């Protein structure tokens, strides 16, 4: 079965400011003992969302009810740096995020996100600040990421958002999951194998 072509992501957004937000902040290592990725979402950013001393919620943006249900994450530069754990984008996906907009991304995090069908769009610092201000003014404002046209729209304003060519092609052509892509080709492999003499059983 062909994968979904991801040409657009739309939803409300939340701004989590800061540069060098690493994978350990996104999902602490102690939650990586899980057998599956199910349930990781509730622990996304947990160490900065909850005060470890008091157990009380902090003023982290993810605790702000105005942004409940946001599916687009705005952040700074070098997002997803640190270890190569794929649990980080898995946690974000299970929290409900379907796209991330940042000034830049760590390469491995970017690749792991793309294989989940999460567009990681790159925007300038000024444009991210402008979008964040619009989101702050109206948390219910719809943000539309046009992956095909490489732009972000909010409040009838367009902002340029780039994506490397390989990721752009993978998402818009429905080729973002390499394993699923390989599995889809099994019938063709079997047809070819059936024609090869040395593959025949006696």
DSSP letter string over the chain? -PPPP--EEEE-EEE---S--BHHHHS-GGGTT-SSSTTGGGGTTHHHHB-TTT--B-S-GGG-GGGTT--EEE--SSBTBSS--THHHHHHHHHT--EEEES-B-HHHHHHHHTTT--EEE--HHHHHHHHHHHHH-TT--EEEETTTTEEEETTEEEE-B--HHHHHHHHTT---HHHHHHHTHHHHHHHHHT-GGG---
Residue 88 pLDDT: 95
Dump pLDDT digits (tens) for 84-138. Answer: 889 999 999 999 999 999 999 999 999 999 999 999 999 999 999 999 999 999 9
Q: Flag residues of the chain having pLDDT under 70.
A: 1-2, 34-35, 180-183, 201-202
Record the pTM: 0.87
Domain 8-176 carries which CATH code?
3.20.19.10
């Amino acid at each position: 079965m062909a994968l979904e072509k991801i040409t657009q992501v739309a939803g409300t957004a939340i701004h989590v400011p800061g540069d060098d937000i690493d994978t350990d902040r996104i999902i602490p290592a102690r939650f990586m003992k899980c057998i599956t990725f199910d349930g990781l979402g509730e622990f996304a950013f947990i160490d900065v969302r909850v005060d470890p001393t008091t157990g009380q919620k902090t003023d982290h943006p993810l605790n702000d009810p105005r942004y409940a249900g946001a599916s687009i994450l705005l952040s700074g530069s070098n997002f997803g740096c640190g270890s190569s754990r794929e649990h980080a984008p898995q946690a974000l996906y299970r929290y409900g995020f379907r796209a991330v907009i940042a000034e830049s991304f760590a390469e491995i995090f970017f690749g792991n996100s793309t294989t989940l069908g999460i567009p990681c769009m790159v925007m300038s610092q000024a444009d991210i600040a402008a979008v964040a201000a619009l989101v702050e003014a109206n948390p219910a404002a719809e943000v539309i990421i046009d992956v095909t046209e490489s732009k972000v729209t909010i409040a009838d304003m367009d902002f340029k958002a780039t994506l490397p060519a390989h990721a752009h092609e993978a998402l818009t052509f429905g080729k973002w999951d390499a394993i699923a892509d390989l599995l889809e080709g099994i019938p063709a492999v079997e047809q070819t194998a059936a024609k090869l003499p040395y593959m025949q059983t006696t």
